[in-house]
Amino acid sequence: MQDIVKAIRSLTEGETDSVALMATVACEVHHAMPQADWTGFYRVVAPELLKIGPYQGGHGCLVIPFSRGVCGACARTGAVQNVPDVDAFPGHIACASSTRSELVLPVFNGAGRLLAVFDIDSDTPAAFSKADEDWLVPLLADVFRHAE
């Protein structure tokens, strides 16, 4: 994954617009992870509310409250959610009925403000590992550190 990390850092260097950063990261990660069937961002647009942002794949849910689903849990807690079986996750929101596993990471700017959550869905059970978290968490922190 070092190649994709290097490419994303190069593509986003100096950019501060969060939507431009999200679009680039979603595209690059989606194409770098063959297990990803949907890759995108849900932006914090109001207290306790996420709305869909840039993504790759089929349609996603338009609005997700912090109180619902895997994305909501990530936004609410600020913690990575790596769910190997979405059917076993209480309150899972099925934006696509084919989704079997999900990795959702919080996206903070350098000031510590939650900008979004980064959601990667797979039609394969247990598609994401701790190793995926280990390269994505620092990448997101670096790319979005100066985001507006």
Which CATH number does 2-143 carry? 3.30.450.40
| pLDDT single digits (tens) 69-91 | 999 999 999 999 999 999 999 88
- Three-state DSSP class for residue 135: helix
- For residue 22, the model assigns a pLDDT of 98
**pTM greater than the 0.85 cutoff:** yes
Local confidence band at 1 (pLDDT 50, 70, 90 cut-offs): confident
pLDDT, position 95:
81
Domain residue ranges of the chain, discontinuous segments joined by +: 2-143
Q: 90-138, pLDDT tens digit by residue?
A: 888 888 888 999 999 999 999 999 999 999 999 999 999 999 999 999 9
pLDDT digits (tens, 9 = 90+) for 9-36: 999 999 999 999 999 999 999 999 999 9
* pLDDT the model gives residue 88: 93
Residue 4 CA: distances (Å) to CA of 50, 89, 102, 141: 27, 30, 20, 15
> Could you give the CA distance from residue 57 to residue 72 in angstroms, rounded to a whole number?
20
